[in-house]
Amino acid sequence: MRERRYSSTSPEHLATALFDVAAESGLGGASVREVAKRAGVSIGAVQHHFSTKDEMFVFALRTLVDKLLMRLKAVDRSGDPARALFSVMSQLLPLDEARSREAHVMAAFAVRAATSPSLAEIRRKTLFTIRTGLSAVLIRIGTPEAETRAALLLATVDGLALDAIGSPSLYPPEYLEHALDIQIAMILQGADLAPSSVELAS
Amino acid sequence: MRERRYSSTSPEHLATALFDVAAESGLGGASVREVAKRAGVSIGAVQHHFSTKDEMFVFALRTLVDKLLMRLKAVDRSGDPARALFSVMSQLLPLDEARSREAHVMAAFAVRAATSPSLAEIRRKTLFTIRTGLSAVLIRIGTPEAETRAALLLATVDGLALDAIGSPSLYPPEYLEHALDIQIAMILQGADLAPSSVELAS
């Protein structure tokens, strides 16, 4: 069956197609040919925007990260610090179909960053941004070792997501939520949780 | 330059070659052709042992996991529980060149497990084995929520490793060790750390 292919497209449309291919079959399956096919465009239309596969990956990861960081920023942070941290960090856990796909693709990019300096740079900035935001919250409420605990909270969520994407039966959503609750309670040990320090920065 | 290729080999030798290729360029680069080339054998010699790439991956992951679990079992667990847990779990962190390569390849397999049921099954068993071992230790010393905390300790280490492999400058070895120390201290909050409960199961 011959599909109709278009000869022009937008980089955003290609990033979405790449995300869909990667969520189904990993980044290894996200060749220029496959992304073009999924986007319904010619290979030349992809090459018009990205001269290499690495360039295409960089754009796709940046798009994914931008969306994720905007979502984290928009999270309702009302309630006590434990509740607010839970609301933010649970965005990164594979608690539903959409977040499972996202966690899978994010982890795939994290692995590929080990062999791609341009992906590593985006990943480094993303981790730094999230760690800094978490640190600020933990410092404001007087948490001991705030910066290290911030990195640990992020690592725990990244690790739970990694462990869960291949073993969903060992890590069902309720379990992941329970585990995140306990990690946050441990992280907040020794913090000053007075009502006046409830508000988190936006 | 034409290299000399051998027409027979052992699956273990091929698993080592696959590990080397994957540590350098990711699992995406570990095709039958590349593994054969690295092992110095013909493609037919690889196909003699593995009829599909997935079969080759399954054998390689199983070999890697077996080695890792044996190493965890052999770790010197003298000292208090915090020290013993540190000695075991630091095996999974990218603290040196060998463990960085291993952490990278393990994370790559973890991601691929999301789209490969046979790899997922090995990964599930591995996580379960490590979690069960950690739970047993935490239960013995009276740690609250021992099973969840065991899963959290493993997730934290997996997450730190994932965050570090692409961003080694954000996660130098001393930092990873410090973070692991803090996570273990948090995990052990509320445990009965009396000297009589120092000994860990082997």
Using a CB-CB cut-off of 8 Å, the residues of chain A touching B183 are 152, 156
**Element counts in chain A: helices (H) and strands (E):** 9, 0
Q: What is the pLDDT of residue B3?
A: 61
* pLDDT value of residue B6: 80
A20-77 pLDDT, tens digit each = 999 999 999 999 999 999 999 999 999 999 999 999 999 999 999 999 999 999 999 8
**Chain B contact for A170 (CB, 8 A cutoff):** yes
Q: Say what the pLDDT of residue A195 is.
A: 45
Model confidence, pTM: 0.92
Q: Looking at the partner chain, which of B115, B119, B186 has a beta carbon nearest the beta carbon of A189?
A: B186
Chain B interface includes A181 (CB < 8 A): no
Sign of CA dihedral A19, A25, A31, A35: negative
Q: Which one-letter amino acid corresponds to residue A19?
A: F
Please provide the average confidence, as pLDDT, over all residues in chain B.
Answer: 92
ipTM of predicted complex:
0.92
Instruction: Collapse the DSSP code of A194 into the 3-class scheme (helix H, G, I; strand E, B; otherwise coil) and give the result.
Output: coil
A111 and B114 in contact by Cβ < 8 A?
Answer: no
What is the separation of C-alpha A70 from the centre of its chain, rounded to a whole number of angstroms?
A: 11
Q: Which of residues 5-24 of B touch A (CB under 8 A)?
A: 24
Inter-residue contact A150 to A131 (CB < 8 Å):
yes
- pLDDT bucket at B201, cuts 50 / 70 / 90: very low
